[in-house]
């Protein structure tokens, strides 16, 4: 079975940028310099068909205007990994944001490409657009978080582990990971918990962040990081858990995606 693996060949200069695939952020950074990297994007591809790319560049933190030399340049690369090695298949069209002109608040480019993958996340088709709901979603979303947090605080980490497994099973499907790979990723977080990391309370200043055109949502802290996190008080280290929640059709309770 073929296993197409898609990467974004990406470079940027002198801007605070964000990259989204299908309205899911895969990378953001304040770049006071230049970078060039390949970003795996299969984790935001949930089935074959047309995929959307959006890149935005903003003024650097501490500045109010775009640097005149700022740009974002990118193209999609397809490789085949079914043999256990990365075999080049093809490059898609290369794009670059337009030149910065005085007074322009940001730089932006969007494009699409067609992916062919041997999997499809059936659950993706059944998710509600939570932006269209006429009720306030914050209380129900808070409850979904607290079901995990309060259990963990009492010493029961099973709901958290179950949530981690849901995320890792999805990642395994889109990234062609083995059962052993998934096991090791879950084991790593369990090791952190055993090593002194404890679940953190939700920040009172949390806000809702949406993705995938309203199908996914989560709380974020004032610094922009996901709200669900573990903390080691002895080392002052934090482990942010990058979870998204969703609302399947016919459900009133948010689920981990």
The predicted-structure confidence for 70-127, as pLDDT tens digits, reads as follows: 999 999 999 999 998 999 999 999 999 999 998 899 999 999 999 999 999 987 889 9
Q: What is the pLDDT of residue 22?
A: 96
pLDDT digit string, tens, across residues 31-74: 999 999 999 999 999 999 999 999 999 999 999 999 999 999 99
* Between 137 and 134, the higher pLDDT residue: 137
Q: How much is the pLDDT for 226?
A: 94
The pLDDT score that the predictor gives to residue 141 is 97
Neighbouring-strand partners of residue 207: 220
Token pair belonging to 257:
């995606």
Give the pLDDT of residue 37: 95
pLDDT at 8 over 90: yes
Phi, psi values for residue 26, rounded to 5°: -115, -15
Share of the chain above pLDDT 90, in %: 86
Given a cut of 90, whether residue 176 has pLDDT beyond it is yes
Mean pLDDT of the chain: 94
Verdict on whether the full-model pTM lies above 0.85:
yes
Average pLDDT on 149-160 reads: 94
CA dist list (Å): 163 to 87, 123, 129, 170, 201: 34, 16, 21, 11, 17
Task: Over range 178-201, report the average pLDDT.
Answer: 90
The pLDDT value recorded for residue 219 is 97
pLDDT at 54: 98
């Amino acid at each position: 079975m073929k296993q197409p693996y898609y990467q974004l060949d990406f470079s940027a200069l002198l801007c605070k940028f964000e990259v989204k695939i299908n309205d899911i952020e895969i990378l953001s950074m304040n770049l006071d310099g230049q970078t060039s990297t390949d970003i795996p994007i299969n984790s935001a591809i949930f089935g074959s068909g047309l995929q959307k790319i959006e890149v935005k560049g903003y003024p650097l933190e501490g500045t109010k205007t775009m640097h005149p030399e700022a740009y974002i340049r990118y193209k999609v690369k397809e490789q085949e990994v079914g043999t256990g090695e990365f075999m080049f298949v093809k490059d898609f069209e290369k794009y670059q944001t337009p030149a910065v002109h005085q007074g322009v608040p940001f730089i932006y480019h969007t494009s699409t490409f067609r992916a062919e993958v041997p999997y499809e996340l059936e659950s993706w088709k059944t998710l509600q657009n939570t932006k269209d709901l006429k009720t306030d979603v914050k209380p129900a979303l808070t409850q979904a978080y607290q079901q995990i947090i309060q259990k963990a605080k009492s010493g029961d980490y099973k709901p958290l582990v179950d949530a981690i497994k849901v995320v890792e099973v999805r990642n395994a499907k889109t990234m062609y990971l083995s059962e052993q790979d998934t096991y090791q990723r879950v084991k790593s977080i369990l090791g952190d918990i055993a090593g002194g990391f404890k679940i953190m309370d939700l920040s009172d200043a949390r806000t809702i962040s949406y993705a995938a055109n309203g199908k996914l949502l989560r709380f974020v802290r004032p610094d922009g990081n996901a709200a669900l996190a573990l903390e080691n008080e002895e080392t002052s280290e934090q482990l942010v858990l990058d979870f998204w929640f969703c609302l399947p059709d016919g459900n009133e309770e948010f689920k981990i995606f």
